[in-house]
Amino acid sequence: MPKVFEALKWASSFLKQAGRDENAGELLLLHHMKKSRASLLADLRMDIDKQVWEIFQQDVQKHAQGMPVQYIIGCEQFYGRPFKVNEHVLIPRPETEELVQGVLLRSERLFSEREQIDVVDIGTGSGAIAVTLALENKKMRVSATDISEKALAVAKENSEKLCANVHFYQGDLLNPIINAKQKADVVVSNPPYIPDEEIMELSTVVKDWEPTLALSGGADGLLYYRKIVEQLPDVIRYPGLIAFEIGHGQGKVVKSMLENRFPKAEVQIEYDMNGKERKVFAVLSL
């Protein structure tokens, strides 16, 4: 059986030839050997167990064919916590952590006197946003919606495993919240925002594996923003906070949608760690 460093070298070379991320081999080996990175690097000359080697090779080949490492492992880290992911939910991205951070900072300022902050996460997917907000700010009473029953099953499992108190509703966008006659201080969403014609231009790792339902935002990528903004007056309280993740180049349009619907709102576009438009925040004052 090969040693750890030989297995990593093989995986790196194999994935490079396939045009995939060479570092994926290390993530897969960490998973199968149940080691930390420091421990793995300390054991580079250790022989790999036969069963681990066989499964590792299969998984490297799966990733070479396009399957995301996160789906192979069944997990992705978000805000320092492990979230279960599968083909029914979008893989949480670091950019979305910035959206969560923005919501937490603004909520602290806006609702400092409150004992309870009612939050709704629209299109929750894996539950990453909803669960993280509930755990990071104990004042937040979080509800989350998703149209996909299978996505909600993943979100509920993540919520239970991480001991977060989140109420989940199946339905389209804000409809379940409106039907339940609930109001919210904070509405946050990372809706599908990729224009339909651009879906086929995405990496095979994304377009062939991640759910199209969670990616496709209609002809111009703005379909769900329009729908949500239309529904918001039925749900949002004053003072209130609205937070969207957006695609690059969508900031001005989403900002103007919010300003048209809420003329007195203070609306800001924020860039992500890569210098791309990624978040729009609207603060509604009394």
pLDDT of residue 252: 97
d(C-alpha 146, C-alpha 174), whole Å: 9
**Phi, psi values for residue 56, rounded to 5°:** -60, -45
Whether residue 26 is predicted with pLDDT greater than 80 in this model: the reply is: yes
Q: Is the dihedral of CA 253, 256, 262, 266 positive or negative?
A: positive
What is the number of alpha carbons within 13 Å of residue 161 lying toward its C-beta?
Answer: 14
Task: Tell whether the model's pLDDT for residue 100 goes beyond 80.
Answer: yes
Task: With a cut of 80, say whether residue 205 has pLDDT above it.
Answer: no
pLDDT of residue 202: 80
pLDDT band (50, 70, 90) for residue 209? confident
Domain ranges across the chain: 4-65, 87-284
Annotated binding site: 123-127, 146, 190-193
Q: What is the pLDDT of residue 214?
A: 78
- pLDDT attached to residue 213: 77
Please give the annotated binding residues for substrate, written as ranges: 190-193
- What's the rounded mean pLDDT across residues 57-63? 95
On the question of pLDDT at 271 being above 90, the answer is yes
Strands annotated E in the chain: 75-78, 81-84, 117-122, 140-146, 166-170, 184-189, 236-245, 266-271, 277-284
Distance CA 175, CA 181 (A): 10
- Residue 219: pLDDT band (50, 70, 90) is confident
Using DSSP's 3-state secondary structure scheme, residue 202 falls into coil
State yes or no: pLDDT of 132 exceeds 80.
yes
- Tell me the average pLDDT across 121-145: 98
The amino acid at residue 11 is A
Higher pLDDT, 26 or 215: 26
pLDDT exceeds cutoff 90 at 95:
yes
Q: Is 88 left (phi over 0), alpha (psi -120 to 50) or beta?
A: alpha
Q: Which residues contribute to the annotated binding site for S-adenosyl-L-methionine?
A: 123-127, 146, 190
User: Exposure pattern of 196-215 as b/e (b: 16+ CB <10 Å)?
Assistant: beebeeeeebebeebbebbb
**pLDDT bracket for residue 175 (50, 70, 90):** very high
Q: Which fold has domain 87-284?
A: Rossmann fold (3.40.50)
Share of the chain above pLDDT 90, in %: 86
